[in-house]
Amino acid sequence: MQRAVIVLRAKNVQFKVTYIDLRDKPDWFLEISPHGKVPVLVVDEQPLFESSAIAEYLDETVIPQLHPTDPMKRARNRAWTDFVPDFSRALGGVSYARDQEAMQAGFKLARQRLDRLEEAIKLERGNDGPYFNGDQLCLVDAAYAPFLQRFTIVERVIQSGLLNDYPLIQAWTNALLANAHVIGSVVAEFEEIFTENLKRRQSYAGTLLHTAPADMQTAV
């Protein structure tokens, strides 16, 4: 859902968010969401589902355009947006690891994905950013921002220093988390909700919320 909200905010669209309990989805939601997933965007009583489809629809119908105008650049942006599921699963392998051993395995896969993304930023951008394409927020930024935001919260707990080896990704993350559209895309108590989720899922990071001293670091 957060990706769609970032795009809506970046385009200054008036909208209303209805939050649901994903562990107890209401019938009306299941009727308009074939996969039972969020987000769903309802436009003129017509539901549109899947984050990528929603983002593409908004970019085609509402200015300013967030995709590059050059067809090749636009296609490559779409390709890197399609990399998001692999990237998010890799970071999730760290965030939701059940113990230290699983977390170490998670770091290995995360580094593989981070290596590719760091190189992509270097090759695709060709400028100082701070966003994926340059100085303007784009759909790639909206796609990655939610996962980088969540990992930043986890990193404050585990203190692995993982992103220290990826200066372009770290700078990109800093820029995204300072962007007003990203900041406003979640509720004020989002960090508390997210950390409670870490504990509910019995992740190793969740256990550290109560036990880790401030200077503890998790080796990667």
| 3-state SS assignment for residue 163 | helix
pLDDT at 210: 66
User: Which one of 3.40.50.300, 3.30.497.10, 1.10.150.130, 1.20.1050.10 gives the CATH number of domain 71-211?
Assistant: 1.20.1050.10
What pLDDT, in 10s, does the model give residues 61-73?
999 999 999 999 9
Q: Give which of 26, 46, 45, 44 is closest to 36, Cα–Cα.
A: 26
Residue percentage of the chain with pLDDT more than 90: 88
pTM (two decimals): 0.91
pLDDT at 214: 42
pLDDT at 216: 39
Per-residue CA distances from 68 to 60, 120, 134, 136 (Å): 12, 16, 11, 10
Angle at 43 between CA 40 and CA 44, to 5 degrees: 140
> What is the mean pLDDT of the segment spanning 170-187?
97
What pLDDT, in 10s, does the model give residues 106-144?
999 999 999 999 999 999 888 989 999 999 999 999 999
What pLDDT, in 10s, does the model give residues 10-44?
999 999 999 988 889 999 999 999 889 899 999 99
Average pLDDT, the chain: 93
Split at pLDDT 50, 70, 90, the class of 7 is: very high
pLDDT at 116: 97
User: Domain coordinates of the chain in residue numbers?
Assistant: 2-61, 71-211
The single residue listed with the structure tokens 């970046």 is 10
Amino acid sitting at position 207: T
The reply to whether CATH 3.40.30.10 applies to domain 2-61 is yes
